[in-house]
Chains A and B, each alone.
Chain A
Amino acid sequence: MRILVCIKQVPGTTQVDIDEKTGVLKRDGVESKINPYDLYAIETALRLKAHWPEATTLALTMGPPQAEQSLREALMMGIDEVALISDRAFAGSDVLATAYTLSQAIQAIGDTGIILCGQQTTDGDTAQVGPEIAEFLDIPHATNISAIPECQANAVTVQVDLPTTEETIRLPLPCLLSVNKGIHTPRLPSFKRKKETREVAVRRMTLADFPDTDPDHYGLNGSPTNVVRIFPPEHHVTRETWEGSSGELAGRLCTYLRDAKFLV
């Protein structure tokens, strides 16, 4: 049985800006990292593995060839196998196309017991990819998972943390779980593992490896949503600027708070 973890490589910096004159996106620094929320999913996979004698862990990512770096890091954390899903046919994927691509790869890999996802990505930030993968695979899913108190041969019991309620639910395998940040503290990649996994090959998958090879189901064509345009945010606020020494500023603020009756 495989425990799969979906990870995404995201920009290491959030500094993406738009040049107001030319309308061109500027992204400073090309450095990337594993989506921080996915580290919790990796850690969860490594801990869950101990509950089933034949379980192995596999991390997969859909992204450009450079995303291999994230997979190497997952290996260094203790993941057994890694797969890189990369093809020009996947360019321009929205959530639906991304989830469909991942679900096809998961079917091609096979022997799925549990699929783990992070809560959300720091660049896409939709938290939707997980539930859509589960739908394409026709397996149950749960999100907002704060703990996995029990594992049985063919089921897991998880704690779901909702804003007003806390629920304990049991899902049969296979299933997909989106775990919350904080479920377990992710371990650091180890140098020992780095040496040990140097020879581990990254499994590369393209459209040709999938059960469904119709290019119209992937990338831009397989994406129902279209970006019509991008633009810098506009703000129009009439405002006043206060300058002066800290004491003067504090005094003015104090007067305002008092006059506007904000003090209780």
Chain B
Amino acid sequence: MAELIVHQEKIPDLSQVVNLCPFGAIEVNANRVSISPACRMCKICIKKGPPGAFELVESRLAEIDKTAWRGIAVYIDQTEGDIHPVSLELVGKACELAGKIGHPVFALLAGHRLAALTEELRHYSIDTISVYDHPQLEHFRIEPYTAVFEDFINRCKPSTVLVGGTAIGRSLAPRVAARFRTGLTADCTFLDMQPNTDLDQIRPAFGGNIMAHIRTPRHRPQFATVRYKIFSAPQRRDAATGEVIVATPTDAMLASRIETLAAHRKEPVKNIEDADVLVVAGQGIQRRENLDLLQQLAERLGGMVGGTRPVIEAGWLEPRRQIGLSGRTVKPKLIITCGVSGSIQFVAGMSGSEKIIAINIDPDASIFKIAHTAMVGDVCEIIPELLNTLAKGDNVHV
């Protein structure tokens, strides 16, 4: 069993070590230092504490035979005949990762009436596409989809499984990962492959301005979810090369205790992911009324308004307009952030934008570290002035 051991004799000053732990897990009782359950095993006490005072003793956990697992699999997220574009982005990433270790790329497609989608998928560099096509898979229900996914993994034995961070993916991936008693890293913002097939996964972590590099060294397959627009869409090829494997789900796989009573398509809405230009409201806009001004600006630019989490939580904008780690990832041609500080969770959702203009009153704001153009000033003044100038400009040109 891996454990943090405290070597009491190597701690010169008990009170000093208490502050080492960002999670408050180091406690002193009766002149002895102990680790409480608040410990997150971040190992900072080992690195930053008195030399030798904290030690991680690892037991020999069972090693697995990694060569028994080969290939990178992508779950193709489809609803009512449309492939979610995040799935294709993941196919592109899977090809890149597989190329580094000479592995094949697999895809799993489940649903009903999938002929057209299957044909379309053959144009991406996927080696084999496993298709589970059945009327009982028409609507997403967790049990049959999990069973089909399990069957797919047992047949293909992929080393890595990538799933889009969609509403369905975020329900399905953890369920399947738990079935295989394996690790899943949610909302990765960066992926790479080690020669020994360990997947390097990076995501913001501990709810702060910190990135964590995560691996799943002793389990296969290793699961990761990634949000839409984190990676780029791959090129569709003219030749249809993917090999199709028709897989027949058994009755046992299709069994479900869940009944779909009704399902209807919602009115299509324009999403911020699809806008070429975004104007973003942060807490720095001060007043709700200023949102109207940002809305006017967005209209002049043919774009949309998005917001940071506090702006959404204040109820100023609908949740689907939130940009960031727990909102949407966007990659517009132009993004203008207004009174946004630039927290890591926000930046994770927009740093891929082509042109970033940031307006912030604080010259040291973190947003300026990633902005192409840093405008140091008061957004509550600049935006009205800008709208005025734009209005005047029109008159001159017309």
A162 at the interface (CB under 8 A from B): yes
Residues of A near B172 (CB, < 8 A) are 131
Determine if A143 is an interface residue (Cβ-Cβ < 8 Å).
Answer: yes
Q: How far is the CB of A145 from chain B (nearest CB, A)?
A: 11
Contacts of A233 in B (CB 8 A): 204, 209-211, 344, 347
Extra contacts, 17 of them, besides A24-B22, A25-B44 (Cβ < 8 A), are A17-B208, A18-B210, A25-B42, A86-B37, A88-B36, A122-B207, A135-B175, A142-B258, A168-B260, A169-B260, A224-B219, A230-B211, A235-B370, A240-B374, A242-B373, A249-B359, A249-B375
Instruction: Say yes or no for B252: interface residue by CB 8 A criterion.
Output: no
Assess whether B100 is interfacial by the CB under 8 Å rule: no
Most buried by B among A95, A140, A230: A230
Q: Is the CB–CB distance between A221 and B265 below 8 Å?
A: no
Of the residues A166, A231, A262, contact of B263 by C-beta under 8 Å: A166
Q: Which of A208-264 contact B (CB under 8 A)?
A: 215-216, 220-221, 223-233, 235, 237-247, 249-251, 253-254, 256-258, 260, 262-264
**A132 and B1 in contact (CB under 8 A), knowing A167-B260, A246-B378, A264-B300?**
no
Q: Which 8 A-B pairs have the closest CB atoms?
A: A16-B208, A92-B41, A224-B183, A250-B385, A25-B22, A64-B38, A123-B207, A246-B381
The B166-199 residues at the A interface (CB cut-off 8 A) are: 166-168, 170-175, 177-179, 181-187
Residue of B nearest to A258 (CB): B393
Contact bitstring A14-49, B, C-beta under 8 A = 1, else 0: 111110001111110010000000000000000000
| B143 at the binding interface (Cβ < 8 Å) | yes
* Shortest Cβ distance from A94 into B: residue: B183
* A14, A120, A224: residue with the most chain B Cβ atoms closer than 10 Å: A224
Judging by beta carbons under 8 Å apart, are B171 and A143 in contact?
yes
CB distance from B336 to the nearest CB of A (A): 8
A113 on the B face (CB < 8 A): no
Contact A95 B372 (CB under 8 A): no
Choose among A94, A215, A228, A229 the residue that contacts B1 (Cβ–Cβ < 8 A).
A215
Q: Which of B260, B371, B373, B377 contacts A246 (CB 8 A)?
A: B377
Tell whether A239 pairs with B177 under 8 Å between CB atoms, given A14-B208, A224-B218, A225-B216.
Answer: no
Collect the chain B residues with CB atoms within 8 Å of residue A63's CB.
Answer: 37-38
Distance to closest chain B CB from A227 (angstroms): 5
Does B37 contact A64, Cβ atoms closer than 8 Å? yes
Please encode chain A, from 177 to 194, with 1 for each CB lying within 8 Å of some chain B CB and 0 for all others. Answer: 010010000000000000
Q: In the complex, A229 Cα to B76 Cα: how many Å?
A: 31
- Size band of the interface chain B makes with A: 35 or more
A87 interfacial contact with B, CB 8 Å? yes
Q: Which residue of chain A has the shortest Cβ distance to B20 in the bound complex?
A: A24
From B167, B184, B343, B389, give the contact of A95 (CB < 8 A): B184
Q: A14-B343, A91-B37 given as contacts; is B258 within 8 A of A22 (CB)? A: no
Minimum Cβ distance to chain B for residue A236 (Å) = 9
Residue numbers in B under 8 Å from A60 (CB-CB):
none
Check B326–A120 contact: CB distance below 8 A: yes
Q: Is B59 an interface residue (CB 8 A)?
A: yes
26 inter-chain pairs at a CB distance below 8 angstroms, sorted by A residue, are: A25-B22, A64-B24, A88-B36, A96-B177, A96-B183, A125-B187, A140-B257, A142-B258, A162-B79, A164-B79, A164-B266, A168-B263, A170-B258, A171-B258, A215-B1, A227-B41, A232-B210, A237-B372, A239-B371, A239-B372, A240-B374, A242-B374, A253-B375, A257-B390, A260-B334, A264-B302
Residue on B with the closest CB to A182?
Answer: B319
CA gap between A65 and B175 in the complex, in Å: 29
Interface pair B205/A226, CB less than 8 Å apart: no
Residues of A within 8 A of B363 (CB): 241
Residues of A within 8 Å of B170, CB to CB, are 127-128, 131, 143
**A163, B269: Cα distance in complex, Å:** 9
A254 to B393, CA, bound (A): 9
Asked if A2 is an interface residue, CB under 8 A from chain B, the answer is no
Choose among A64, A86, A140 the residue that contacts B258 (Cβ–Cβ < 8 A): A140
A94 to B385, CA, bound (A): 50
**Chain A residues with Cβ under 8 A from B25's Cβ?**
64, 91
Asked if B11 is at the interface (CB within 8 A of a chain A CB), the reply is no
Which of B36, B168, B209, B264: most chain A Cβ within 10 A? B209
Contacts of B343 in A (CB 8 A): 14
Q: 1/0 contact trace for A126-139 toward B, CB 8 Å?
A: 11111110111000
- A171, B257: Cβ atoms closer than 8 Å: yes
Cβ–Cβ contact B334 & A262, under 8 A: yes
Bound together, the chains give a CA A99 to CA B179 distance in angstroms of 12
- Taking the nearest CB of chain B, how far is it from the CB of A39, in angstroms? 13
B256 CB–A CB distance under 8 Å? yes
Instruction: State the CA gap A69–B254 with chains docked (Å).
Output: 44
- Map CB proximity to A onto B326-347 as digits: 1 under 8 Å, 0 otherwise: 1000000110000000011101
